[in-house]
A and B are shown apart, each in its own frame.
Chain A
Amino acid sequence: MKMAMRLTAILVSIFIATSVYASDKSPVPHLDIGKGGQCVEEDHALMRKTHMNLLKHQRDETMRKGIRGQKYSLAECVECHASQKTNSVLGSNEAFCQGCHAYAAVKLDCFECHANKRKVTAEVSK
């Protein structure tokens, strides 16, 4: 009986250890998606892959021609995805933008110039 219990304990601990090991092998970023909700594109995989192109096209239209209020906007990304706690898309590896960019090892330049905080609350807090 004692032997059987010991064996079970060993088996259980091996199972836990291997499952932890498996998740370590393929880590995924755990993101705080902020308010979330309906994204501008239904297809999340498409957004993950092409958000930078969508934004880049839109930025030139806005900057050069003054076309505003279009579908794709960095300010709107921040509006929905800034963390409810920190009000920002940066700041930790759970933050929406920084978390994924750190995971993918891609430099994130947008917020060297652009506001990383949600607009309304940021102004109220000042």
Chain B
Amino acid sequence: MAKVLMKGNEAIGAAAIKAGCKYFFGYPITPQSELPEYMARELPKIGGIFLQAESEIAAINMVYGAAGAGVRVMTSSSSPGISLKQEGISYIAGAELPCLIVNIMRGGPGLGSIQPSQTDYFQATRGGGNGDYRLVVLAPANVQELVDLIIEGFDIADQYRNPVMILGDGMIGQMMEPVEFKEPKQRELPEKDWATTGTGGNRKPNIINSLYLAPEELEEHNVKLQAKYKTIKENEVKVESYNIEDADVVIAAYGTTSRIARTAISQLEKEGYKVGLIRPITLWPYPYSEFDKINPNCKGILTVEMNTGQMIDDVKIAVKGKYSVYFYGRTGGMVPTPNEIIEKVKEVYGGEK
């Protein structure tokens, strides 16, 4: 199939439709509004439903209902709106329903700004809502990868009966790049025989629920969830690495920030520095073991983020104290420049190449 030039936010919609998602419930918020606008235009053409809810809370609860009824369904928002959705996300995770949630992050806390940021890393990877649950968190670095991860994300959600979050930022939502729509890897997807469809009088009622009043039952449910998360950790880690076996300094960065890091690395290489990159594509499950492959004589790991240091916690867990871990970040919608990263890498080098 030929490549088409698409804006990130619209490419999300096109990819979701390609993945068989016909239902979108959302609420307007900058910088992701092109996505609901695209869905409002396109979903009716294929017999689907776009519904603008009265709030993000209502939108995620509509997703909760629709996912329970057994269809592919999604919502999208940006940071403050995603905060409002946490209640519903926790229920969806607790009731083990598949759905796709897109967070095109903006600066915070509070109303923050409308400029790109990566300040929701903790919220996305540590739960966000109440309870001991995990989302599969996918962090694309370009529009093609965004499209691929949306399509595969629906399959991952269905395979594990778990909500999947796409974590992007205002930059990837707004940038235009050529994309093609490819078939994802084939997965064995289970029948949705648990869905609310009406009993038809020939089966026992299906119940979608996250309430377990008896402590032993709730513990058993949590043990089951954790076993599922363990399987996801074993099967679904995605990471891209560059030159880490040979590097004197390794940068850890994800999403659009990783692209800026790549530019910095190219420049540093011209100057004779050996710099590698670990780019987690899944932020949960995190590619901890990738850090075991780093050159044992590496001088340090530099984490670069558009926040004040969130993924750095996972980097520290990953390196198990073997390497010094450094941080460079901009926040508030400020984007790190290649030169800033270059200076920081040189600092980690400590003056000697």
A binds B: no
